[in-house]
A and B are shown apart, each in its own frame.
Chain A
Amino acid sequence: MLAITALALVRLRNLFAVAMLAGIYSLLSAGLFTTLDAVDVAFTEAAVGAGISTILVLGTLALVGHEQKKARRSSVIPLVVVVLTGSILVYGTLDMPPYGDPANPAHHHVAPHYLEESEHEIGIPNVVTSVLASYRGYDTLGETTVIFTAMVGVLLLMGGLRKRENSGETDAETRESEDASGSGPVPTHGGSGTDPPKADGKKTHGEGDAHGG
């Protein structure tokens, strides 16, 4: 199922259908994660892949158009590269430990400690949560910082520039304080109370800018 969906993704040229199929692909992989005992991961994948990612892709398509042009280049060279890489990887798997075997090396490092001791050390039943938040708290802190940084990046690329064009300012702090207070023209008005016509002129100018942006 996953493979069929992935292959359909290659062939489709209507990008709305691609976005929807990507959501279905994520949902199918969430089901696969559930059968592989990773319920937390399945939950997250369903919420992210079928929810937020699809909405973001659709939002992008609304901005950039949804028809893909036919590629001018031939697809033979990429195909050769992919088949070559794939066969090298398959050759590499011949030494890998078999699926589902309890004797695999991955199950004999720190995982037994987590499973046996976390009941006494942490005291909560969901081992994934205790490992995530306590044993590997640094990882999660770094990960939280990463998505915060991604938000800052997205806002700089998408949201911040609009206000910069409006106000003619380049300083990020000025923009934020303006946005937070939302009372840009008011201090100007109050401060120059002795000169009402000038203040009025400034205010209308600002409003005109806001409409123009």
Chain B
Amino acid sequence: MEDRLILRVGAKILIPFILMFALYVQFHGDYGPGGGFQAGLIFASAFILYALIFGLDTAKRVLPLGFVWFCGALGVWIFAGVGVVTLVMGGEFLNYDVLAHEPEHGQELGILLVELGVLTTVFGVMVAMFYAFAGRRQVR
């Protein structure tokens, strides 16, 4: 699809907005519908659109395979790390009350971090799966 001008220009215009929308969904998830899963999926779909339009190799230069795998693992690590931090700070595992002086602020901080972990994992996993399925065709 490298020679389709409208698709290329359209995708270049759309992708920044998709990424912005994903971040909006992520950080507005406390107040409206949304959260880590949805944001991660939208984030991943932006890069999948990029790979569909500009080719898999270009996408892999933008977003290397190792980085995507690392993201998938990093999110779980962030999530479990928040739990360990709460343990160290004297609470139960994943009890965010102890993260800040006020329990409510601790809860908000904890939820933010945990959602960030979910976003990272979902994004990494979805893009890695897409790379796996799409890269298969080039091998055969």
Do the beta carbons of B125 and A43 come within 8 Å of each other?
no
Given A52-B126, A124-B108: A140 in contact with B114 (beta carbons within 8 A):
yes
Q: How far is the CB of A146 from chain B (nearest CB, A)?
A: 10
Do the beta carbons of A123 and B65 come within 8 Å of each other?
no
Do the beta carbons of A144 and B111 come within 8 Å of each other?
no
What separation, in Å, do the CA atoms of A145 and B124 have in the docked complex? 13
Q: Mark A57-97, 1 if CB is under 8 A from B, else 0.
A: 00110110000000000000000000000000000000000
B61 within 8 A of partner (CB): no
Do the beta carbons of B45 and A47 come within 8 Å of each other?
yes
Q: Mark A137-158, 1 if CB is under 8 A from B, else 0.
A: 1101100110110110011001
Residues of B within 8 A of A162 (CB): 139
Do the beta carbons of B31 and A126 come within 8 Å of each other?
yes
What separation, in Å, do the CA atoms of A129 and B65 have in the docked complex? 31
Do the beta carbons of B69 and A121 come within 8 Å of each other?
no
Residues of A within 8 A of B115 (CB): 129, 133
Q: Mark A184-204, 1 if CB is under 8 A from B, else 0.
A: 000000000000000000000
Which of B38, B66, B130 contacts A56 (CB under 8 A)? B130
Given A134-B110, A151-B125: A43 in contact with B33 (beta carbons within 8 A):
yes
Inter-chain CB contacts under 8 Å: number? 144
A168 within 8 A of partner (CB): no
Given A47-B45, A63-B136: A133 in contact with B111 (beta carbons within 8 A):
yes
Give B residues with C-beta under 8 Å from A: 25, 29-38, 41-42, 44-45, 48, 65-66, 69, 72-73, 75-76, 79-80, 83, 93-94, 96, 103-105, 107-108, 110-111, 114-115, 117-118, 121-122, 124-126, 128-137, 139-140
- Interface majority SS (helix, strand, loop, mixed), chain B: helix
What separation, in Å, do the CA atoms of A47 and B130 have in the docked complex? 15
What separation, in Å, do the CA atoms of A42 and B79 have in the docked complex? 24
The chain B residue sitting closest to A165, CB to CB, is: B139
